[in-house]
Amino acid sequence: MPLLGIVGVILSTWAANAGNAYSAGIDVVKLGGLRDERRAVATAVCGGVGIVLACLGIVSHFESVMVYLGIAITPLCGVLIADYWWVRRARPEQWRPVPGWSVPGLVAAGVGAAVALLVERVSATGLAPWAAAWLIPSVVGVVVAAVLYETAEQWRASRGPRADLKF
């Protein structure tokens, strides 16, 4: 009976990860500019690489990567929140696509991410026990990015009206 259970687990894992290998193969074909006839080979190579990485223990690093990615990306939400609620005063009609990049938004998000990562490191090392108890790195990053973005937009507004905002 245990052998039947092992076979069931292997087959269900195989079925679940076949889609992952197929998606990776398609991505490699598209990103690498390969001909569609190479899709099966790319899928097999991606599946093999995935098996090797799993055997080497890549999964044990997955959680920390996702934690740091979550901490680093969430300050973008602070910029979006500040832009919608404070800069544009919650008026959807004020939104217009603008060409290029928002330098204040990128700087605010970058600083928010750096502060959030610093809070996470300080909390993890135990240098400030109160930080671990009271500060959530992602929330700190969102707040820092929102305040910086709002400050930058207020400074920009003091230098003259923006063409994309009408109050």
Rounded to two decimals, the pTM is 0.65
Domain boundaries, the chain: 2-56, 63-158
For 145-156, write each residue's pLDDT tens digit.
999 999 998 888
What is the arithmetic mean of pLDDT over 103-113?
Answer: 94
Candidates 42, 163, 150, 36; CA nearest to 99 is: 163
Candidates 5, 12, 141; CA nearest to 68 is: 141
For 117-163, write each residue's pLDDT tens digit.
998 888 877 777 776 678 888 999 999 999 999 999 888 878 776 65
Tell me which of 38 and 98 has the higher pLDDT.
38
